[in-house]
Amino acid sequence: MLKSVHVALTLAISAGLAPFAATVAAETVNPAGEKLYKTACIACHSTGVANAPKVGNKDAWAPLIAKGMDSMMAIALKGKGAMPPRGASSADDATLKAAVEYMVYASR
Amino acid sequence: MVAPAMAKGKSAPVAEKFLSEPEIAKLKRVKVDLVAPPMVHKHEQVASGAPRIVEFRMEIEEKKMVIDDKGTTLQAMTFNGSMPGPTLVVSAGDYVELTLVNKASNAMPHNVDFHAATGALGGAKLTNVNPGEQVTLRFKADRPGTFVYHCAPEGMVPWHVVAGMSGTLMVLPRDGLKDPAGNPLRYDTVYTIGEFDLYIPKDENGKYKDYKTLSESYGDTVEVMRKLVPSHIVFNGKVGALTGEGALKAKVGETILLIHSQANRDTRPHLIGGHGDWVWETGKFANPPEKDLETWFIRGGSAGAALYTFKQPGVYAYLNHNLIEAFELGAAGHIVVEGKWNDDLMKQIKAPGPIVA
């Protein structure tokens, strides 16, 4: 119990979206997603390097989110433009999906 | 905004001539094959003809490199596979035409910012290349000196620089180097040294972390970078790269030019047992050099140059004279000098022995 509260708190602080993050944590968040984001994806997606959709930028993410998770996962797996396959990480599919979910939640 | 008509009517005190595209097209072209540091490609110290277009090609290579004798690794990014990237040499007034290749096996977008160039963030804006792409940039090298070049992709500049992506462009005056009185200064050999402050993350047990991929090293590395305390400071990519087999070589009577670049952080080069005979510590040859320096100073984000003629044989150390940075963190190399000892300059009058009254 204590642990999950801690996770929720960390998410809330890092995402700067307290009410929303708490909801997510209560549901199905895979902490590996946030971890991968902060390890690797953040290099481009925090500032929008090479036109990467910035995490937290609703307008940039809306069309991607509209196309659905399968479409976003296809980009995450195969890469697109300056985005390397798997974001140049060695993460497995489940972790990648969790990272995409993390970015999506933080960008809605 | 200055109106073009005004600029045309008045001639500037220093005649600056801008060539048109057809005029540039008539210039002679030469292609230069680059060599790996600490060596520098063959070049003339005094330009023999009119300005030329000098063609270079560099390939970006991301790779994991071992940076000390304990097996610590860096997820490095390099120009041409080396840290620093190769030194490019032209004469003032020449045009540099660089083809930058981002190999398909790389993961990241890259570009290049030349401190010697004018406009478009040093060329960075015009050279953004994704893996699998190449680009060609031309610029006029109109200022003499040693200048840093480095990668500068918008949004992640410091990471690419501290991971290895920098080198030197040396633009020689057309009539060669001079002392403050205008006498010619010439070198027999030129070496190029790139000093790199590295920020390798540690795990919870205090051991340096090893990463499977370049991008996975990012998050932790940025945290170490923000503390502004390097884990290692190395010459040419590795602790001890310029010692033992890698030591620089010279002979008594030989004049060497030592080019020293640091793209991110200040350093203070010193040659133990020697000096800087003539030093351009800010690296710009139109300024008079300083004489007899014990230690000189390279500003983070610049390259400087020092001339020295060896007078004694032996093994010299060339280092960053914050001695912790040199001997604990790695910023030191050796120069092995052959020749005859000069007793007039130095002599051991009595060898160490017991104290006598």
Q: Give per-residue pLDDT as tens, A46-89.
A: 988 888 999 999 999 999 999 999 999 999 999 998 899 999 99
- Residue B289 pLDDT: 98
Residue B106 lies in a domain: yes
Which of B175, B207, B232 corresponds to the end of one domain?
A: B175
Residue B290 lies in a domain: yes
- Residue B13 pLDDT: 56
State the fold for domain A40-106. Cytochrome Bc1 Complex; Chain D, domain 2 (1.10.760)
From A48's Cα to the closest Cα of chain B, the distance in A is 7
Could you give the angle at the alpha carbon of B276 between the alpha carbons of B270 and B279, nearest 5°?
110
- Residue A7 pLDDT: 45
Q: Of A41, A82, A90, which has the smallest distance from its Cβ to B212's Cβ?
A: A90
H and E: helices and strands count for chain B: 5, 21
Assess whether B267 and B128 both reside in one domain.
no
Token pair of B149, please?
A: 């070049």
Answer whether A38 sits within 8 Å of B216, measured CB to CB: no
- Residue A16 pLDDT: 44
pLDDT band at A8 (very low <50, low <70, confident <90, very high): very low
- Residue B59 pLDDT: 98
Q: What domain range includes position B155?
A: 27-175
- Residue A2 pLDDT: 45
Q: Of B131, B153, B214, which has the smallest distance from its Cβ to A49's Cβ?
A: B153
Residue B101 lies in a domain: yes
Residues of B in contact with A46 (CB under 8 A): 155
Distance CA B98, CA B31 (A): 10
- Residue B15 pLDDT: 60
Distance CA B53, CA B30 (A): 6
Structurally, how many domains does chain B consist of?
A: 2
Annotated active-site residue B294? The verdict is yes
Residue B184 lies in a domain: no
- Residue A11 pLDDT: 43
- Residue A28 pLDDT: 60
Answer whether B219 sits within 8 Å of A39, measured CB to CB: yes
Q: Give the Cβ contact number of residue B262 at 10 Å.
A: 27
Annotated active-site residue B41? The verdict is no
Regions in chain B scoring below 70 on pLDDT: 1-15
Strands (DSSP E) found in A35-78? none
- pTM for the complete prediction? 0.89
- Residue B286 pLDDT: 98
Q: Is the peptide bond before B4 cis (omega within 30 degrees of 0)?
A: no
- Residue B14 pLDDT: 56
Residues of B in contact with A84 (CB under 8 A): 107-108, 131, 215
The amino acid at residue B165 is M
CA-wise closest residue to A91 among B201, B61, B211: B211
Residue B134 pairs with which residues in a beta bridge? B101
Annotated active-site residue B94? The verdict is no
Distance CA B192, CA B86 (A): 8
Query: B interface mutation test: which of A41, A44, A80, A86 has the most B CBs within 10 A?
Result: A44
